[in-house]
């Protein structure tokens, strides 16, 4: 298990400064917001930004862990153009992740409520969404394989999306679509709301879990809430998880003090 931090949380005026600070604080990875790698004016990838990340990280101890969303549109939008935009951007980000050596791209199928009409008794909105999502993920998974990266489905809590709230739901999508480059990620904040037993949920996702987000129950840094990270980390060890766990949360203080303290706290919870 390797500790990572989102770029926006790391202190520093340049990427080089952020990388150096994270290394000093005890982190091994950095997670990037996806929008910075998209050329929204001309379409395609912002190659200069990808090249910069590769140049600065290839000989650094802190490596790119993941790309967190940042794409336009939504895979489960009712509007075709929105779906096509999401697919196009995700494909671009998958190639960016592959070039940087990151694990993959975090994908949330939709935020909020359903945008597709309920067609009961034919299909409910959620059933239609599942059929659509599987149709879209199949070719995207092939793109991920070609790019040398992964799609990382992220279940969110019920207050952020109506669709895919628990790890087992993401597992079922991965099993149905198939392919070795469609995986999922687990977020301790969302799990603290949706999972009855976090360690059991992690163990149940062992064949598909490829990334983790860290935040306490308060959505602040771990240690500022009541989440039992020790049992969750024990479950991650049991399934042989060796990838990145990236901070995605608020910092209640000076990051130059809080981030190193958090790294020490997290390592103390590891078995």
Q: Where are the domains of the chain?
A: 2-266
Catalytic one of 7, 91, 154, 258: 154
pLDDT for res 6? 98
- Going through 14-136 in order, the beta strands assigned E by DSSP cover 29-33, 63-68, 104-107
Q: Tokens 């000093």 label which residue? A: 24
Q: In the predicted model, what is the mean pLDDT of residues 146-169?
A: 98
Q: In the predicted model, what is the mean pLDDT of residues 241-245?
A: 98
Q: Is 48 a catalytic residue?
A: no
Q: Is 194 a catalytic residue?
A: no
pLDDT band with cut points at 50, 70 and 90 for residue 248: very high
pLDDT for res 148? 98
Q: For residue 137, give Cα distances in angstroms to 4, 47, 229.
A: 27, 25, 31
Phi first, then psi: give them for residue 249, nearest 5 degrees: -170, 175
pLDDT for res 42? 87
Q: What angle do CA 41, 43, 48 make, to 5 degrees?
A: 85
Confidence check: pLDDT of 43 > 90? no
Q: Quick one: fold of 2-266? A: TIM Barrel (3.20.20)
The predicted-structure confidence for 8-32, as pLDDT tens digits, reads as follows 999 999 999 999 999 999 999 999 9
The predicted-structure confidence for 83-105, as pLDDT tens digits, reads as follows 999 999 999 999 999 999 999 99
* Stated pTM of the model: 0.97
Catalytic one of 129, 195, 248, 258: 248
Identify which of 241, 94, 100 has the alpha carbon closest to the alpha carbon of residue 182: 94
Distance CA(210)–CA(212), nearest Å, equals 7
pLDDT for res 168? 98
Phi first, then psi: give them for residue 217, nearest 5 degrees: -60, -20
Q: For residue 232, give Cα distances in angstroms to 131, 199, 212, 269.
A: 32, 5, 11, 9
């Amino acid at each position: 298990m390797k500790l990572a931090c989102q770029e926006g949380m790391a202190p520093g005026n340049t990427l080089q400064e952020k990388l150096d600070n994270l290394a000093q604080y005890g982190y091994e990875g950095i997670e990037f917001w996806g929008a910075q790698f998209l050329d929204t004016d001309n379409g395609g990838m912002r190659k200069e930004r990808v090249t910069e990340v590769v140049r600065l990280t290839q000989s650094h101890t802190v490596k790119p862990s993941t790309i967190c969303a940042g794409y336009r549109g939504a895979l489960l939008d009712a509007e075709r153009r929105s779906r096509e935009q999401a697919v196009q951007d995700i494909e671009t980000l998958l190639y960016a992740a592959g070039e940087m050596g990151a694990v993959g791209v975090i994908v949330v199928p939709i935020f909020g409520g359903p945008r597709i009409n309920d067609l009961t008794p034919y299909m409910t909105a959620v059933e239609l969404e599942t059929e659509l999502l599987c149709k879209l993920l199949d070719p995207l998974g092939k793109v991920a394989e070609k790019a040398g990266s992964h799609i990382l489905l992220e279940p969110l809590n019920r207050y952020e999306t109506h669709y895919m709230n628990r790890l087992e739901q993401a597992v079922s999508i991965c099993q149905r679509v198939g392919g070795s480059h469609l995986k999922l990620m687990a977020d301790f904040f969302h799990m603290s709301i949706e999972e009855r037993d976090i360690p059991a949920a992690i163990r149940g996702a062992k064949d598909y879990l490829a990334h983790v987000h860290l935040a306490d129950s308060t959505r602040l840094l771990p240690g500022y809430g009541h989440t039992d990270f020790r049992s969750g980390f024990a479950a991650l060890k049991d399934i042989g998880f060796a990838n990145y766990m990236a901070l995605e949360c608020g910092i209640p203080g000076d990051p130059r003090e809080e981030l190193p303290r958090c790294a020490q706290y997290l390592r103390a919870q590891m078995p």
